[in-house]
């Protein structure tokens, strides 16, 4: 026999899955929404996305190499790229570069590396970055460019988004109801908002890719969307003047983006399917609560971050069905 034999114990084969493979398919699933954001917001979208990804990679490399003194930095596993894209998707297309850099620093530095890097963070890094920017620069983060200004960046003209209109309506101002765009334009993505949230169609395409490649299961997205649909449906039924059709809720704001890409982040979501469903219900409930009774028009980011905090508890309570457990 020529060479030495490996002598580790079973199993001796592997399905071939790797961290990189899963990250790669998430990035591919994000491509339709990325293309949609370029079509709708033009140059601004390109600059914001590229900047965000570049800074996320840079900060992860710097922190890993010089602060944590790790020899093999993990920037090649794709997780920093995904954080960069998702952070960008949560920003308006006219946000200046220095704000993006700060957001990336907080997202990667505080949201991820401070806890020990990949796999150790309790909160979704992109959302940590986004919420930091929202609280630090509320004006910049809540002025969204009107769509189809292809060569505009920080000089874009801004306008109201459907979500801000909906919260005005809920506040009693029925006059703006006429300004609300139709469902089809919401679905396709020809309205204002953050980069990644506008085209529901593109996001749903991403969901199909993720499910097909077995990167995620249906539990989290469906439980979030179902909870939101049911709760807003009940409210619309009770008072259709104040509360809009649930389909409007599903197609506006970061709900679709959050349900498909942010809440399903492996590290910060529960491990069992039962836990995932409760997690999704919690997120849906909190989103509707904040949208209708909170002072922000958008509640998704906060809802997800709050439920991220609850995830360890969910993991403790929601254990998988044990084989042979005798029902009491």
Partner 1 sequence: MLPILTAILVLGVIGLILGIVLYVVARKFAVDTDPRVEQIIEILPGANCGGCGLPGCAAFAEACVKRDSMEGLNCPASSSEVMQQIAAITGRAVQELTPKVAVVRCNGSCENRPRVNNYDGASRCVIAAMQTGGETGCFYGCLGCGDCVTVCKFDAIHMNPETGLPEVDQEKCTACGVCVKACPRGIIELRNKNKLDRRIYVSCVNKDKGPVAKKACAVACIGCGKCVKVCSFDAITLENNLAYIDFEKCRLCRKCIDECPQNSIWAVNFPPKRVVTPAAETTLEPVKESVEQDKQDN
Partner 2 sequence: MLKTFKIGGVHPEPNKISAGKKIVTAALPKQAVFPLSQHIGAPAVPCVQRGDTVLVGTRIADPVGFVSAAIHSSVSGKVAKIDTVVDTSGFRKPAIFIDVEGDKWESDIDRSDTLILQCTISQQEIFDRIKNAGIVGLGGACFPTHVKLMPPKDCKIDTLIINAAECEPFLTADHRLMLEYPDQIIVGIRIMLKALGIEYAVIGIEENKPDAIALMRAKTSMVSGMEVVPLKMKYPQGGEKQLIEAVTGRRVPPPPALPVSVGCVVQNIGTVFAVYEAVQKRKPLIERIVTVTGKSVQNPSNLKVRLGTPISQLIEAAGGLPEDTSKIVSGGPMMGRPLLGTDVPVVKGTSGILMIPESDAVRHKERTCIRCGKCITACPMGLEPYLLAVASEMEDWERAEENWIMSCIECGCCQSTCPSRRPLLDWVRLAKSRVNDIIRARNTKI
Residues contacting residue 258 through CB under 8 Å, at least 6 positions apart = 224, 283, 287, 300, 301, 303, 304
> Per CB under 8 A, does 6 bind partner 1?
yes
* CB of 276 or CB of 300, closer to partner 2: 276
* CB of 238 or CB of 328, closer to partner 2: 328
What number of other Cβ atoms are within 10 A of residue 165's Cβ? 21
Contact 89, 253 (CB under 8 A): no
* CB of 12 or CB of 328, closer to partner 1: 12
Closest CA to 104 of 94, 115, 91, 92: 91
What number of other Cβ atoms are within 10 A of residue 54's Cβ? 15
H/E segment holding residue 145: strand 144-145
Interface with partner 1 by CB under 8 A: which range of 2-10, 70-78, 100-108, 211-219?
2-10
Q: What would the x/- binding string for partner 2 be over residues 10 to 29, using CB under 8 A?
A: xxxxxx-xxx-xx-------
> Per CB under 8 A, does 12 bind partner 1?
no
The footprint of partner 2 on this chain (CB under 8 A) covers a number of residues equal to 38
Which residue's entry shows tokens 């309570």? 317
> Per CB under 8 A, does 13 bind partner 1?
no
Q: To the nearest whole angstrom, how small is the minimum distance from the Cβ of residue 115 to partner 2? A: 11
Interface with partner 2 by CB under 8 A: which range of 28-36, 107-115, 187-195, 267-275?
267-275
Tokens describing residue 236: 């619309």
Contact 196, 185 (CB under 8 A): no
The neighbouring-strand residues paired with 262 are none
Binding region for partner 2 (CB under 8 A): 1-3, 5-15, 17-19, 21-22, 117-120, 217, 266-267, 269-272, 319-326
């Amino acid at each position: 026999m020529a060479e030495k034999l490996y002598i580790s114990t079973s199993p001796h084969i592997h399905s071939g899955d790797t961290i990189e493979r899963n990250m790669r398919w998430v990035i591919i699933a994000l491509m339709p929404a990325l293309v949609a954001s370029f079509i709708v917001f033009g140059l601004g979208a390109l600059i914001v996305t590229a900047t965000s990804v570049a800074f996320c990679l840079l900060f992860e490399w710097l922190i890993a190499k010089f602060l944590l003194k790790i020899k093999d930095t993990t920037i090649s596993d794709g997780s920093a790229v995904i954080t960069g894209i998702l952070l960008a998707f949560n920003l308006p297309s006219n946000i200046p570069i220095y704000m993006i850099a700060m957001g990336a620093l907080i997202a990667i530095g505080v949201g991820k590396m401070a806890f020990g890097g990949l796999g150790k963070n309790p909160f979704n890094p992109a959302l940590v970055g986004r919420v930091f920017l929202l609280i630090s620069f509320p004006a910049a983060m809540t002025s969204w460019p009107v769509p189809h200004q292809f060569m505009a960046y920080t000089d874009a003209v801004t306008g109201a988004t459907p979500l801000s209109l909906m919260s005005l309506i809920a506040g009693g101002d029925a006059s703006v109801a006429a300004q609300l765009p139709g469902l089809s334009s919401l679905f396709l993505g020809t309205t204002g908002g953050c980069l990644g949230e506008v085209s529901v169609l593109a996001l749903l395409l991403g969901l199909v890719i993720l499910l097909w490649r077995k990167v995620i299961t249906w539990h989290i997205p469906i439980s979030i969307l179902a909870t939101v649909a049911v709760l807003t449906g009940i409210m619309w039924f009770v008072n259709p003047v104040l509360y809009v059709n649930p389909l409007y809720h599903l197609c506006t704001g970061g709900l679709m983006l959050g349900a498909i890409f942010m809440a399903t982040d492996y590290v910060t979501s529960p491990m069992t399917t039962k836990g995932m469903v409760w997690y999704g219900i919690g997120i849906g409930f909190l989103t509707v609560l904040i949208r209708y009774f909170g002072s922000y028009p958008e509640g998704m980011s906060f809802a997800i971050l709050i439920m991220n905090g609850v995830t360890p508890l969910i993991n403790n309570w929601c254990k998988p069905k044990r084989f042979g457990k005798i029902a009491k």
